[in-house]
Structure 1
């Protein structure tokens, strides 16, 4: 009897040791966290929330629990008056409802760059009483996946009422790294000029790997125009990486392999990667979840068919409002409806011409009408190195001319501001030009 008791004690002790080893192994492996952001609002921008909802479904299907996924989106699409299928969001023609089960962590007015940075960096106190209050509670062995989808401009990622500066994102990531808030982070950004969010800002030795839908001076592209819904269902880069993920066994496919596939398939813009490129050797499952998904399938023929369908409808993001109105015009039911749509198109073009003319007037004012410099500033594409000048100039334009978040087309005319700063003109000179030219007051609603 005594021998049996001693044996039981030994077994119990071994169990404690093994249990401790398992717990320690889990801690060493770390946890996976995800932050998904759609920065836009309105039916015209349906595709951004559809992309983010699809990304959420991928994470859940691969075993990432809701308490480790933060979703930030306006949430004005699923039950939008223009949605003929209330409660349904799709990311491809005839696709599944990707809205089902999506957490409502931060919606409506809570979708701000400040709240995003607080959620990402784990600032629970700063989000007390805001949305779900959920934040990334990561440690030194954890991995993060961040997906940002919206409109963009040089050094800018837009939100519904404001914008995130590339330097703010970089500063937050660097502070998190210094605070040992992650082991590795992967960031996928879908936006025009999205490469400018990382160029010369993301070090290659801090455990962060980023992929952008386009280079620092290219637009991103929308795809899957749906005439039933009268909007685009997805963005080309997002569609490509997610449809690839849906097909493949992500426990075998590496980040590098997906990057190569997506870069080849996204023919309109140049998909680029940044930061610590060696991270791309790891399997996708390290950042999207390691549970096998029922949707995994390998079918090259199907891949080519779906690619053609997406690419055949690919449209530069800035041209989406025009393309949507033209589609509605083609399918208009009555002469009265057609005339109203023609007037909307005319108004859209006039408003865009107004924004472009204002920017040219600002450039002329700053350069004292030096036509040679005006030509260079208006048509060249410098990268951003003089960040303080650029940030202050953009803030003046946003505050006194066109609210950038509420005028998506205004984002398209910011390259000359970059060029002015790179040519040595100052933010003070630009602010003086704004005071002289933008006497019309702040304008909003220009798509």
Structure 2
């Protein structure tokens, strides 16, 4: 059931943070296979000011890989690129991933931006194929082969068995088909996938261990992921909880000795609001992190006398459920604004957003009522089960796609993504697919 947005009062806490760029020291990575190349695909699947955190995460991830020696020609970055110079950004040209943190935007490749950030392009680039669209893109793809290691990091909104892009969605079945095809065609030796999204565990739940893929996710298949570093003067979440923990760990750890398993368990322990998961070939987690987040022979940036990672002070106000970020931040901005004109403008945004959210709920209710006249069945379909697994994926994804195309574009409305589980409920209860699709057409 959809929850009403929370009103949170802002208490600013002044803190000073240091980026590990000053933690310089050198050592050489030892890669077990001298012919291995390391490739990376970094994707922020959202746009808009209140999705700031996704592009901030991706920019930070790029800085980690770049400083650890992976050349730009082996890193492909997809992000809408509408945050650094956004009219609401108080520091033009600057993206930070924590309060008072460094600018992580400089140097980030603009390989695929704006309309080129699509699920079709993502799947093509992953396979080393020509992009489906290239308005102002670099044309770079992953040219990995059977010896190479591939690191994929994706940050955005998600729902059961799908993740979002600015103007589209990627279904679990389509991702799995491509990963299996890549394995058959020997497009990688080993692949590691870090996924930041709500219900992100659903994308890899049940994945075969035979694909030589190790995946970790921000959340299990049934829960939200959380915005992080949300208590700041920008009235925005600067990162995502799971993502911040793996990246701040990679900032300071000796990646030539730390294993993927150790990093996962550090992240799992430090992530308080969701439950990070691991999937696929878990034996791969015994490999060192540098085999995916660094280049063979790359320099390690770490100060030898640093024994533990600096802990950043946080409060409960630093956490916000992903789908409540926009409304929560608008309320926080309202609470500290005294100028009447500014208050009126913020109130107007709150009212428009609240009405949109009410419309989403009412639209879904109307669709369900068009399918069944049983009041108990209507309420049952509007409730999310504790452990939701899609039984009829064709029915579910057909309904989700039509809903996104005709009712509320999911890639641009994360709140709508929070209620599409109702389609899984109906499909799982054997409601005919045609009846569901006709109801969507009639209501929207």
User: What is the TM-score normalised by the length of structure 2?
Assistant: 0.88
CA 317–267 in structure 1, closer or farther in 2 if over 3 Å, else same = same
Counterpart in the other structure of 1:78? 84
Distance in 1, Cα, partners of 2:124 & 2:266: 33
Structure 1 residues 128 and 161: alpha-carbon distance in aligned structure 2, compared to 1, 3 A threshold = closer
Note the 1:124-273 alignment, pairs <5 A: 124=130, 131-200=137-206, 202-225=207-230, 227-273=232-278
Looking at structure 1, the residues matched to 305 and 50 of structure 2 have their Cα atoms a distance apart, in angstroms, of 33
Find the aligned partners of 1:221 and 1:27 in 2 and give their Cα distance: 38
Q: Which residue does 1:343 correspond to in 2?
A: 348
Give the distance between the partners of 2:74 and 2:303, measured in 1 at CA.
23
Decide whether the 8 Å contact of 1:59 with 1:289 is kept in 2. yes
| Whole-Å separation in 1 of the counterparts to 2:38 and 2:78 | 18
Q: How many residues align?
A: 410
**Secondary structure of the corresponding residue to residue 309 of structure 1:** coil
CA contact (8 A) 1:166 1:197 kept: yes
Partner SS state of residue 175, structure 1: helix
Using CA pairs under 8 Å that are at least 6 residues apart, name the structure with larger relative contact order, 1 or 2.
2
CA drift of 1:143 comes to 0.5
Distance (whole Å) between structure 1 residues aligned to residue 429 and residue 97 of structure 2: 43
* Alpha-carbon displacement from aligned partner over 1:233-255 (angstroms, at most 9, x marks no partner): 10001000000111211111111
How far the C-alpha of 1:372 sits from its partner, in A, is: 2.9
Instruction: Please report how far the alpha carbon of residue 27 of structure 1 lies from its aligned counterpart in structure 2 after TM superposition.
Output: 7.4
Q: Structure 1 residue 397 and structure 2 residue 403: aligned?
A: yes
Q: Could you tell me which residue of structure 2 aligns to residue 12 of structure 1?
A: none
CA contact (8 A) 1:194 1:212 kept: yes
Shift of 1:426: 2.5
Please tell me whether the aligned partners of residues 197 and 225 of structure 2 are also in contact (alpha carbons under 8 angstroms).
Answer: yes
Q: Say if 2:284 is the partner of 1:275.
A: no
8 Å contact kept, 1:223–1:311 = no
Q: Secondary structure at the match of 1:225?
A: coil
For 2:264 and 2:154, the matched residues in 1 are separated by: 17
Q: Post-superposition shift, 1:155?
A: 1.2
Post-superposition CA distance 1:9-49 (Å, at most 9, x none) = xxxxxxxxxxxxxxxx9976411000000011111111100
1:99 and 2:135 equivalent? no
Cα deviation, 1:332-384, whole Å, max 9, x if unaligned, reads 13123223322322332222111011112212222x22233223221133211
Structure-2 change in CA distance of 1:128 and 1:162 (3 Å): closer
SS at match of 1:232: coil
Check 1:278–1:407 CA distance in 2 against 1; reply closer, same or farther (3 A cut). Answer: same
* Residues 51-76 of structure 1: CA deviation (Å, up to 9, x unaligned): 00000000011110000000000111
Residues 190 and 220 in structure 1, CA contact (< 8 A), matched pair in contact too: yes
Instruction: State how 1:111-122 maps to structure 2 within 5 Å.
Output: 111-122=117-128
The structure carrying a bigger helix percent of its residues is 1
CA distance in 1: counterparts of 2:135 and 2:270, whole angstroms: 43
1:396 deviates by 1.5
2:114 is aligned to: 108
Shift of residue 214, structure 1, vs aligned partner? 0.5
Counterpart in the other structure of 1:378 = 382
Q: Residue 228 of structure 2 aligns to a residue in which SS?
A: strand
Cα distance between partner residues in 2 of 1:321 and 1:379: 23
What is the rounded CA distance, in whole Å, between the counterparts of 1:406 and 1:125 in structure 2?
A: 22
Instruction: Please report how far the alpha carbon of residue 302 of structure 1 lies from its aligned counterpart in structure 2 after TM superposition.
Output: 5.3
Which SS does the other structure have where 1:164 is aligned? strand
Deviations 1:156-194 (A, max 9, x none): 111111111111111111100000010100000111111
Query: Residues 167 and 130 (structure 1 numbering): CA distance in 2 closer, same or farther, change over 3 Å?
Result: farther
Name the residue aligned to 1:47: 53
Tell me the residue number matched to 2:327. 322
Query: Do 1:78 and 1:89's aligned partners in 2 also have CA atoms closer than 8 Å?
Result: yes
Deviation at 1:296, TM superposition (A): 5.5
Structure 1 length as normaliser, TM-score? 0.87
Distance in 1 between residues matched to 2:228 and 2:51, nearest whole Å = 12
Residue aligning to 1:294: 301
CA RMSD after TM alignment: 2.0
Q: Which runs of 5+ in 2 are unaligned?
A: 1-30
CA distance in 2, matches of 1:293, 1:94: 24
Max Rg structure: 1
1:353 and 1:160 map into 2 onto residues whose CA distance is 22
Equivalence for 1:69: 75
